[in-house]
Structure 1
Amino acid sequence: MNYHIGVVEDDPNIQNIVTAYLKKEGFEVSLSDSAEKAWEIWEDRKPDMWILDIMLPGMDGYEFCKKIRNESEVPIIIISAKDDEIDKILGLELGGDDYLTKPFSPRELIARIKRLFKRSAPRINGGNEDKEIIKTHHMEIYKSERRIFYNGNELDVTTKEYDMLVFLTENVNRAFSREDLLVRVWGDDYFGSDRAVDDLIKRIRKKLPNLPLETVWGYGYRLRDDEETE
């Protein structure tokens, strides 16, 4: 499959470098230097992923990320010269799936793009694992379709929220440190703060308020297997 990637960046040098590397990998690229132009691309032909700068003229990247998240769970990688922890956390809170600080290696960007597509694309090989359905705590997870239902209603979840829920439901009653969860969900090449784990858990709890997702103080989290009996 030839994935279509939208790049929103107003620096011509970064535009050229990122576009060249993406096309070399076989990706189709739609380039825009503002969020307003990127939104026109979205309305015309929706990309499969966004590479999004934060500091943009007019609408900034945070607002654009929020607008996309109101319509879709398409993967978003944020790139920014802002390297403060609060900026990274804000980007993830608004729905970004990954965050790269400028200057960055184009090869690292490509590696993260491939990893995100691998995690977000439904598996189509038809094996037994693809047909697995996890049922717990009034929640059904259809792994082959990467869809989650809660009390019969489909839940809108991001890539990271889905990955975290699958991992925890497959390891009920086990406590995991924040560092463990970073590796399991973000990958062992992620160098961001473990505050990203806390933010992700917070978002999951908001969407699934009755899920017994327990804080292990000073350590991390675990999903308890104490579903109420009818």
Structure 2
Amino acid sequence: MMSYTIFIVEDDPIIAGSVRDFLTRYGYRVVTATDFERIPETVRELQPHLIILDVQLPYQDGFHLCRELRRHSSVPILFLSGRTGEMEQVLGMESGGDDYVTKPFHLEVLLAKIRAMLRRTYGEYASAEQPVHEQCRGDLCLRLNAAEMVWRGELQTLTKNEVKLLALLMEHADQVVSREECLTALWEDVAFVDDNTLTVNVTRLRKKLARWGIDDAIVTHRGWGYQLNTNRLVKKP
């Protein structure tokens, strides 16, 4: 089994230590943060496979730090926070996080989420995606392996979950894709996924499309799922 490096950015030594000891028993190489003023520099030096990031940290909060890390890294980031409100979770995902776990939490649930994120990013699911490089609908093109979308010459980067979601909607363009299908495509361990997390990712993808004036290309069918309206992706004469 590949030895993955996990970087824990948590200023509570008891929580950081218990998570470190638990994950180490499962064969992971775990490093805990010691200098909270140099987290971005440590990430560049350490090159971890996954980051567990607390929200309430010294010097700057985890949301701001996540946005800073996203400037140069697409490493999976899992928020660990005592803030349980829905808006806090939305903010975490919009800051570039891939998942959000609230305190108190079960170490087994945390492990399941970590395993799922690592499989999607580096394991068999990631390998299966490599042969496909680009898919287009109308004037919108998704570059899967580059994690970016292009609209009439303009480019935006995407998170891994945004890539998976847009790829699924493009594959079933003009058809309604159920929420269950979306959840399965994004998180194979759906038993541990809050349904609100899907809504957050859809909202985040819509906001990026809105920068090009095509936020209404993703249509919500309440109680059912989502549909990509390709009529909005074609340049009008």
TM category (shorter chain) comes to: 0.7 to 0.9
What is the alpha-carbon distance in structure 2 between the residues aligned to residue 119 and residue 193 of structure 1?
Answer: 19
Return 46-55 or 216-225, whichever deviates more: 216-225
Q: RMSD of aligned C-alpha atoms? A: 2.9
- 1:8–1:34: 8 Å Cα contact kept in structure 2? no
Residue 93 of structure 1: aligned partner: 94
Equivalent AA in structure 2 for residue 190 of structure 1: F
User: Is 1:190 matched up with 2:195?
Assistant: no
| Ranges in structure 2 where 5+ consecutive residues have no aligned partner | none
Q: Note the C-alpha offset of 1:183.
A: 4.3
Q: Percent identity?
A: 30
Q: Note the C-alpha offset of 1:147.
A: 3.6
What is the alpha-carbon distance in structure 1 between the residues aligned to residue 31 and residue 123 of structure 2?
Answer: 23
- 1:122–1:146: 8 Å Cα contact kept in structure 2? no
SS in 1 for 2:87: helix
What is the alpha-carbon distance in structure 2 between the residues aligned to residue 110 and residue 218 of structure 1?
Answer: 31
Superposed, 1:36-115 pairs within 5 Å as: 36-115=37-116
1:228 pairs with one of 226, 229, 234: 234
What is the alpha-carbon distance in structure 2 between the residues aligned to residue 17 and residue 95 of structure 1?
Answer: 26
Q: How many residues align?
A: 227
Q: Note the C-alpha offset of 1:116.
A: 0.9
Superposed, 1:99-138 pairs within 5 Å as: 99-121=100-122, 130-132=130-132, 133-138=134-139
Residue 31 of structure 2: aligned partner: 30
SS in 2 for 1:44: helix
- 1:85–1:193: 8 Å Cα contact kept in structure 2? no
SS in 2 for 1:5: strand
Return 209-218 or 39-48, whichever deviates more: 209-218
What is the alpha-carbon distance in structure 2 between the residues aligned to residue 137 and residue 29 of structure 1?
Answer: 45
Residue 13 of structure 1: aligned partner: 14
Equivalent AA in structure 2 for residue 112 of structure 1: K
What is the alpha-carbon distance in structure 2 between the residues aligned to residue 50 and residue 71 of structure 1?
Answer: 14
Q: Note the C-alpha offset of 1:121.
A: 2.8
User: Is 1:176 matched up with 2:181?
Assistant: no
SS in 1 for 2:73: coil
What is the alpha-carbon distance in structure 1 between the residues aligned to residue 127 and residue 19 of structure 2?
Answer: 34
What is the alpha-carbon distance in structure 2 between the residues aligned to residue 180 and residue 13 of structure 1?
Answer: 38
What is the alpha-carbon distance in structure 2 between the residues aligned to residue 45 and residue 191 of structure 1?
Answer: 29
What is the alpha-carbon distance in structure 1 between the residues aligned to residue 206 and residue 126 of structure 2?
Answer: 32
- 2:149–2:158: 8 Å Cα contact kept in structure 1? no
What is the alpha-carbon distance in structure 1 between the residues aligned to residue 125 and residue 35 of structure 2?
Answer: 36
- 2:147–2:159: 8 Å Cα contact kept in structure 1? no
SS in 2 for 1:103: coil
What is the alpha-carbon distance in structure 1 between the residues aligned to residue 193 and residue 42 of structure 2?
Answer: 31
Q: Note the C-alpha offset of 1:202.
A: 2.9
Q: Note the C-alpha offset of 1:213.
A: 1.9
- Shift of the 29–174 alpha-carbon distance from structure 1 to 2, 3 Å rule, reads same
What is the alpha-carbon distance in structure 2 between the residues aligned to residue 180 and residue 124 of structure 1?
Answer: 16
Residue 205 of structure 1: aligned partner: 206
User: Is 1:160 matched up with 2:166?
Assistant: no
TM-score using structure 2 length: 0.80
- 2:174–2:230: 8 Å Cα contact kept in structure 1? yes
What is the alpha-carbon distance in structure 2 between the residues aligned to residue 171 and residue 8 of structure 1?
Answer: 39
